[in-house]
Amino acid sequence: MAAGSANCDIANPALADAGCGRVEWALQEMPVLRELAARFAQQRPLQGVRISGCLHITTETANLARTLKAAGADMVLCASNPLSTQDDVAAALVERYDIPVFAIRGESTEVYYRHINAALDHRPVITMDDGADLVSEIHQSRRELIDSMLGGTEETTTGVLRLRAMAEQGALRFPVIAVNDAMTKHLFDNRYGTGQSTLDGVIRATNILLAGKTFTVVGYGWCGRGIAMRAKGHGASVIVTEVDPLRALEAAMDGFRVMPLLAAARQSDFIVTASGDKHVVDTAHLEVMKDGCVLANSGHFNVEINIPALEAMSVDRQRPRPSVDEYRLADGRRLCLLAEGRLVNLAAAEGHPSAVMDMSFANQMLCAVYLAGREHRLDNAVHNVPAEIDREVARLKLAAMAISIDELTAQQRRYLSSWQEGT
């Protein structure tokens, strides 16, 4: 299979050896997927099931795709973000693991959608999305695929929000499982994965010391909590901005300063968005920021920072380092935007560490088997991950970490389910 052929479109097949080494390295940190691959290689529950994945093309995704293939799936992949593809991993998938990939780091929007459609030409019966682009494209322009769909799975918060909006408007024509909402996904992936890798992206891009700096996190959801926690660990003075009073209160009680972004913008050395919302950093904030302020985003889409406004305000733009665009404003201030406002942890670093993706992708794997094994199609709605899958992933991860836990005694089980017994 050659790069650019009808069966794949990748940057450079010669990178396969480098990619292979990194994929195998990541697998060492993914014991749950290894266990599932061994189990399903015997059972082959996905034999012949056509799956199209629109995911970040990283070492962890490669291991998910290999596990799906080991279970019998007929698998293709495209990218869920134009800047997150690791070209060596794409090459390894195509050249060494025989999994077609349509993804090139830095691809234009036009090529991005061409690749999504190439993945849909595979006629999937299961889609695996990170941001709902496959589901959205099927509903908007590939409706011929709808009838044969068993269902989809969705990896991230923003994708789940888009799908819920579709379901509420009666537009969703096949079932989707919200993998993001599994406990073994968002409690760990969004918090510890995004927390560590966002700081990794900011540091790799800038190499600026965080200790003693003022670091603002916009949005105190699962991702924001992790980013704030890790920035504090680096010695930064952390501010949190929120619109939800409960989350704002939680941030305050977790020890962070909480204030409106307009006040935070005046004193911040770093502002990182993780809100899943549009233009949370807007003209009014850009107008008052300190000279040299670093702006980055870890939310799904590159809309959290109002980049067109920043461009309109600036008189010059330089790229002093890869992933850093330094905008000079008319009043002489410089504002530094990382990774063009796209997911900084994937565009300027390598995304989540493998150990957290192990759990997220074990959920993906088990949900695909669940969709394929059902006698009847689920309703056309957004479904939760079945609780037994969530518990199974936690159990396998604990076992892999050699951690054992206590069990309820029969007496405790009775006590916890009774209401008569008091003091």
DSSP labels, 112-123: HHHHHHHHHTT-
User: CB 359 → ligand NAD: shortest distance, Å?
Assistant: 13
Chain residues 147-166 in contact with ligand NAD, contact rule CB under 6 A: 156-158
Residue 30: closest CA among 363, 298, 345? 363
Burial class (CB in 10 A: 0-12, 13-18, 19+), 343: buried
**CB 305, CB 297: distance < 8 Å:** yes
Which single residue is written with the structure tokens 């962890």? 60
- Report if residue 348 touches ligand NAD, rule: CB under 6 A: no
Please name the residues in contact with 348: beta carbons below 8 A apart, sequence gap of 6 or more: 201, 202, 204, 205, 296, 322, 323, 338, 339
* Segment near ligand NAD (CB under 6 A); pick from 11-19, 214-222, 263-271, 389-397: 214-222
- Report if residue 360 touches ligand NAD, rule: CB under 6 A: no
Number of CB atoms found within 10 A of residue 375's CB: 4
User: CB 243 → ligand NAD: shortest distance, Å?
Assistant: 4
User: CB 415 → ligand NAD: shortest distance, Å?
Assistant: 34
Among 124, 221, 341, 353, binds ligand NAD (CB under 6 A): 221
Cα separation, 145 vs 75, in Å, equals 16
Structure tokens given for 228 = 């704030």
* Helix H or strand E segment including 241: strand 237-241
Q: Of 15 and 83, which has the nearer Cβ to ligand NAD?
A: 83
- Report if residue 275 touches ligand NAD, rule: CB under 6 A: yes
* Segment near ligand NAD (CB under 6 A); pick from 64-72, 89-97, 221-229, 387-395: 221-229
Q: Of 20 and 339, which has the nearer Cβ to ligand NAD?
A: 339
Binding mask 222-261 for ligand NAD (x = CB under 6 A): xxx----------------xxxx--x--------------
Q: Of 13 and 201, which has the nearer Cβ to ligand NAD?
A: 201
Chain residues 288-307 in contact with ligand NAD, contact rule CB under 6 A: 298-300
